[in-house]
Amino acid sequence: MEEEREHGGSGRTVCVTGASGFIGSWLVMTLLQRGYHVRATVRDPDNKSKVSHLLDLPKAGTHLTLWKADIMEEGSFDDPIHGCDGVFHVATPTEFSSKDPEMYFVGKTMAEKAAWEFAEENGLDLITIQPSIVIGPFITPSKPLSIELSIALITRNERLYPMLTRARAVHVVDVCNAHIYLLEHPQAKGRYICSSHCFTIFDLSKSLSQKYPEFNIPTKFESVDESLKPIPASSKKLLDLGFKFKYNSDEYDVGDLCSEAIETCREKGMLKL
Question: CA-CA distance, 142 to 197, in Å (whole number)?
Answer: 25
On whether the CB atoms of residues 257 and 135 are closer than 8 A, the answer is: yes
pLDDT value at 114 more than 50: yes
Give start and end residues of each alpha helix (H) in the chain: 2-5, 22-33, 78-81, 94-97, 101-122, 145-150, 152-155, 172-184, 201-211, 236-240, 254-267
- Of 8, 57, 7, which is closest to residue 30 (Cα–Cα)? 8
Report the predicted TM-score, pTM, of the whole model to 2 decimal places: 0.81
82 vs 171, more confident: 171
For range 66-93, the mean pLDDT: 45
- Inform me whether the pLDDT recorded for 246 exceeds 60: yes
Residue type, position 67, single letter = W
What domains sit in the chain, N to C, each tagged with a CATH number? Answer: 1-131 (3.40.50.720), 132-171+196-232+244-273 (no CATH)
